[in-house]
Amino acid sequence: MIQLKTLLNCIDNSGATIVECVRNMGMKRHGGVGDRIIVVVQKARSMGDSGPGNTTATGGANKVRRGDIRHAIIVRTRKKYQRKDGMVVRFDDNACALIGKNGDPIGTRINGVVGAELREKQQSKILSLASMHV
Amino acid sequence: MRVETCYFCSRPQYPSKGITFVRNDGKKFMFCRSKCHKNFKMKRNPRKLKWTKAFRKSVGKEMTVDSTLTFAARRNIPVRYNRDLVSTTLKAMQRVSEIKAKRERVFYKNRMAGNKEREKAANRKLVAENEHLLPRVRASERMAKETVEEPLETEAVEIPAQKEKKTKRVKQRLVVGGGVQEEMDVD
């Protein structure tokens, strides 16, 4: 149940850590896993702090800054939802991955689990970036 | 789709029942019902709750070491479908469950063996420890009782009325409220 003002964790390496939902795409009241939303980056990883040791971790420069408005795909929701096969799934937090306007992910890596609903919603690019999906 | 075991109570979680919680590191927790899910959210330890299988196993109320229990293990080797194999597997499953039931019965009997003796010993001990609470009977009183009882037996035929009265009185003493009323009626 992602709606206006919901804070989500950003789990890709685009540079954003916490984003706030400002709009659900597609005339929906709440967003679920695989839905597209518009977010404002509330917190981004600091750009200048990356020392010689962890340049790979931040991926050089951040692709987004604080205050940026971006599109994103929801990958986990805390609210439980039922799948077609009857299984009811709940995740630990609300999380998303940033995408460009054409639908390509901004980050190059995704940490953590994502919901398997992304396959049905034609978001296989994010699914392939993710290390695991449940 | 498969029948999973509940993470909390080890009951089977049938499809469409219960809830699956996915932690951020990807570990899945299956729960058979909301009771188990709620207890998990309360961070309770299933080993400390008496209604879970984990508790019963940890306290020794159920078999833990047995060859019949190893059949339920998950095998990650894909097997090609074979009609004969399925039929033999089904037969084997039945047989294994039979053996398991028998062994469980034996286990239960062994666990309960000697319960009566233990209870008796405990009762004896209780009485021995609290002997000072028992009603004191003096030797003279005991003697008197014996002497009263003997003539009653002999005179029983001669004076039945007296005996009736005596028995009535005993009853009255036992029943406090009713005894008084009976006396009133007689008067």
Domains of chain B: which residue ranges?
Answer: 1-62
Pairing of the two strands A69-76 and A95-99 = antiparallel
Statement: the pTM of the whole predicted model exceeds 0.90? no
| Neighbouring C-beta atoms of residue A132, cutoff 10 Å | 11
- Cβ-nearest to A134 among B15, B19, B28: B28
Q: What is the CATH number of the domain that holds A42?
A: 2.40.150.20
pLDDT digits (tens, 9 = 90+) for B27-55: 999 999 999 999 999 999 999 999 999 99
- Find residue A74's DSSP bridge partners: A96
Token code pair at residue B71: 């059949």
A27 touches chain B (CB under 8 A): no
Q: Tell me the per-residue pLDDT of B60-76, one tens digit each, with 9 for 90 and over.
A: 999 988 888 888 887 88
Query: Which are the contacts of A110, defined by CB distance < 8 A and separation ≥ 6?
Result: A11, A12, A13, A75, A97, A126, A129, A130, A131
β-strand partners of A95: A9, A76
Residue A1 falls within a domain, yes or no?
Answer: no
Q: Does A38 touch chain B (CB under 8 A)?
A: no
Interface contact flag, B15 A85, Cβ < 8 Å: yes
Q: Around A59, how many Cα atoms within 13 Å sit in the side-chain half-sphere?
A: 14
The token pair at A82 is 């039922």
**Topology classification of domain B1-62:** Ribosomal Protein L24e; Chain: T; (2.30.170)
Question: Residues B112-157: pLDDT tens digits?
Answer: 999 999 999 999 999 999 988 888 778 888 888 888 876 655 555 5
* Residue that has been written with the tokens 């977010």 in this structure: A39
The domain of A91 spans 7-133
- The reply to whether A35 falls in a domain is yes
Q: What is the ipTM of this complex?
A: 0.86
Q: Residue B52: which of B68, B32, B77 has the closest Cα? A: B32
A84/chain B closest Cα distance in angstroms? 9
